[in-house]
């Protein structure tokens, strides 16, 4: 499948034609994975001819946290970056839902994986994006034979490009064996997350999710769901989860900017609950879609509206 893209991209300090946003084969980030990135969604509202960007400030803050973990500053502060997002939307005039990929990368051509005295370059592009994972069906997951990278190897808390080889290996194994997605365990055996999603279990009317110290990315959708659930009176326990607890959960779902809220039908071929979407997952999912699209007026502080008229 050919990726579609929009005409403009922010690259090397300017809005340029997307086909001109190119780096050298010698680029350090391409060779060594020395970059950090984000993934942000914008939802198109046809009646208002506007894009609602979801939790933009939080995504920008996380990008800066990733840069801090790498030890290399980004060239723009939070306010400047927000302006770049908004200006790019206005130039590209989307007529459907979009996905933004902000990317901070070591753009020099030097030999060797060196982050010392390095300022990151910054680029932002957009693609049209509907579903990242199928939403109409339950997902079939596999506990991966690969282990999640540890905080003292490549921190999962940061979205570091090179760290996604870990995700790609797990995803490949799952796909090769006919599953939709992988779940990675840590070296000590506890559950961390999917290749690009956080995981939630429902047991006895409560949510359970691996704590942020369990080798996970601090997901913005994870935080969103925990908040929405709390406001519905559903508590969340963030704590270590063992593999076998997955099998006996009443409901399991994945969260992420890409997959949004995706329900899980089976894990390691063991059916979760009765093999249907569970009532709590359903309720949270409906709320989530209403809020991100702005058809539900709650949590308006999470939406940045960009008018395209």
Residue with tokens 């030999």: 111
Please state, in angstroms and rounded to a whole number, the distance separating the CA atoms of residues 39 and 30. Answer: 19
* Total of chain residues touching ligand PMP, rule CB under 6 A: 14
Among 142, 171, 186, 222, binds ligand PMP (CB under 6 A): 222
**Residue 48 contacts by C-beta under 8 Å, 6 or more apart in sequence?**
305, 307
35 near ligand PMP, rule: CB under 6 A? no
Q: Could you tell me the CA-to-CA distances from 64 to 1, 25, 71, 104 in Å, in that order?
A: 32, 26, 10, 9
Q: Is 221 in the site for ligand PMP (CB under 6 A)?
A: yes
Cβ-Cβ contacts under 8 Å for 208 (sequence gap 6 or more): 200, 201, 202, 236, 237, 238, 239, 241, 245, 249
Site string for ligand PMP, 152-181 (x = CB under 6 A): ---------------x--------------
Residue 39 binding ligand PMP, by CB under 6 A? yes
Q: Which of 121, 180, 181, 193 contacts ligand PMP by CB under 6 A?
A: 193
DSSP bridge pairs for 305: 52
Beta carbons within 8 Å of 203's beta carbon, 6+ residues apart? 245, 248, 249, 250
* Contact call for residue 217 and ligand PMP (CB under 6 A): yes
Which DSSP symbol is given to 190?
B
Choose one: 1-9, 16-24, 64-72, 196-204; the region binding ligand PMP (CB under 6 A): 196-204
| Active-site residue (options: 82, 142, 159, 283) | 159
Q: Which tokens sit at 136? A: 């109409």
50, 126, 182, 220: which one binds ligand PMP (CB under 6 A): 220
Q: Is 66 in the site for ligand PMP (CB under 6 A)?
A: no
| Selected range binding ligand PMP among 105-113, 175-183, 249-257, 300-308, rule: CB under 6 A | 249-257
Of these, 219, 273, 278, 294, which contacts ligand PMP (CB under 6 A)?
A: 219
Query: In angstroms, rounded to a whole number, what is the distance separating the alpha carbons of residues 288 and 54?
Result: 11
Among 140, 257, 266, 304, binds ligand PMP (CB under 6 A): 257
Active site residues: 159
């Amino acid at each position: 499948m050919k990726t579609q893209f929009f005409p403009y991209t922010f690259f090397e300090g300017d809005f340029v034609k997307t086909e001109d946003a190119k780096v050298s084969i010698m680029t350090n980030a391409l060779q060594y994975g020395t970059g950090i990135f984000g993934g942000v969604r914008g939802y198109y509202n046809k009646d208002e001819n506007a894009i609602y960007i979801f939790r933009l400030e939080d995504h920008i803050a996380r990008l800066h946290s990733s840069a801090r973990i790498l030890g290399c500053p980004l060239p723009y502060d939070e306010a400047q970056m927000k302006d770049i997002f908004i200006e790019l939307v206005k130039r590209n005039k989307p007529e459907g839902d979009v996905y933004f990929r902000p990317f901070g990368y070591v753009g020099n051509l030097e030999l060797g994986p060196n982050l010392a005295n390095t300022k990151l370059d910054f680029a932002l592009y957009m693609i049209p994006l509907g579903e990242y994972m199928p939403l109409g069906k339950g997902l079939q997951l596999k506990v991966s034979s690969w282990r999640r990278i540890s905080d003292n190897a490549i921190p999962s808390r940061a979205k570091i490009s090179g760290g996604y080889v870990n995700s790609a290996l797990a995803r490949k194994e799952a796909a090769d064996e006919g599953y939709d997605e992988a779940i990675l365990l840590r070296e000590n055996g506890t559950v961390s997350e999917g290749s690009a999603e956080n995981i939630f279990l429902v047991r006895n009317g409560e949510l359970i999710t691996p704590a942020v110290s369990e080798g996970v990315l601090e997901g913005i959708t994870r935080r969103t769901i925990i908040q929405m659930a709390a406001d519905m009176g559903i508590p969340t326990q963030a704590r270590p989860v063992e593999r076998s607890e997955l099998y006996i959960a009443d409901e399991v779902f994945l969260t992420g900017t890409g997959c949004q809220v995706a329900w899980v039908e089976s894990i390691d071929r063991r059916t979760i609950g009765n093999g249907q979407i569970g009532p709590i997952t359903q309720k949270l999912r409906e709320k989530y879609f209403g809020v991100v699209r702005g058809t539900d007026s709650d949590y308006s502080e999470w939406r940045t509206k960009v008018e395209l008229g």
